[in-house]
Structure 1
Amino acid sequence: MGATLHIWILALYFAAVLALVTAMIGSSFFLGQRHMTRSTAQPFESGMLPLGDARLRFPIQFYLVAMLFVLFDLESVFIYTWAIAIRPAGWNGYIAMLMFIGVLLAALGYLWRLGALDWGPKSRLRPLPAPR
């Protein structure tokens, strides 16, 4: 009997959510504006009217910045969780975090030296010099 009651409560909740969504969409349909002018049909984002085609190519640096943002965002999550558990982690956790940050700094230095972070007009990747 308890499981049947839970199913009915879930069904009632689902029906209430459906009714609320229907009421919100229906009220916006009936109470919304219906005039259609030339300026109403144009998209308006960030205070600027769009110019040109929406399918333009972004430079590769855009994707590089996006990937670096994700990496540093994950790094900050790891460092924050380590900072919360610093006492139980002890010196082993401290050394592990230093190694983690060291590997990230080494990768950043490698990308910097390779020229992957250059934003100038001549942003070509330079090969690293051969080891002596």
Structure 2
Amino acid sequence: MNFIISITTNFLLSTILIMVAFWLPQINLYAEKASPYECGFDPMGSARLPFSMKFFLVAITFLLFDLEIALLLPLPWASQNFNLNMAIFMALFLILLLASSLAYEWLNKGLEWVE
């Protein structure tokens, strides 16, 4: 029953947020408003800075490891309510997955910052 209520609440909340996003008036950007502003003068150079792809890959790797660690947080609850052997097996599987992905990143030099 709680599962059905939570799924219904999530579905209704996401539907309402999507409908509000479509119904809100769109912001009309015109050329002057979308241009970069430098103290009233025309810009001297590009307003866009180059983005480091290495930084992006490290950030994505951090997010993936963080999400995998978040999967281990309900482990104490799972060990009380379900089969203890299955909970330990799933925890060891997640830890093995974390360790193997860390080893893969380390061997492929995905964690090194210097190019």
**TM-score, length of structure 2 as denominator length:** 0.52
Distance 1:59 1:111 in 2: 18
**TM-score, length of structure 1 as denominator length:** 0.47
AA paired with 2:70?
V
Cα 1:87–1:111 change in 2 (3 A) is same
Please say if residues 79 and 87 of structure 2, whose CA atoms lie closer than 8 Å, have aligned partners that are also in contact.
yes
How many residue pairs end up in the alignment? 72
Q: Which runs of 5+ in 1 are unaligned?
A: 1-40, 43-51, 124-132
Cα deviation, 1:12-58, whole Å, max 9, x if unaligned, reads xxxxxxxxxxxxxxxxxxxxxxxxxxxxx97xxxxxxxxx7541122
- Aligned-pair identity in percent equals 33
Range moving further from structure 2, 105-114 or 61-70:
61-70
Distance 1:91 1:103 in 2: 18
> 1:25-44 counterparts in 2 under 5 A?
none
Q: Which runs of 5+ in 2 are unaligned?
A: 1-37, 40-44
Bigger RCO (CA 8 Å, 6+ sep): 2
Moved over 4 A (4+): none
1:96 aligns with 2:86: no
Distance 1:54 1:98 in 2: 48
Distance 1:111 1:69 in 2: 11
CA RMSD of aligned residues (A): 2.1
Which residue is 2:75 aligned to?
82
Q: CA deviation at 1:106?
A: 0.6
Cα 1:95–1:55 change in 2 (3 A) is same
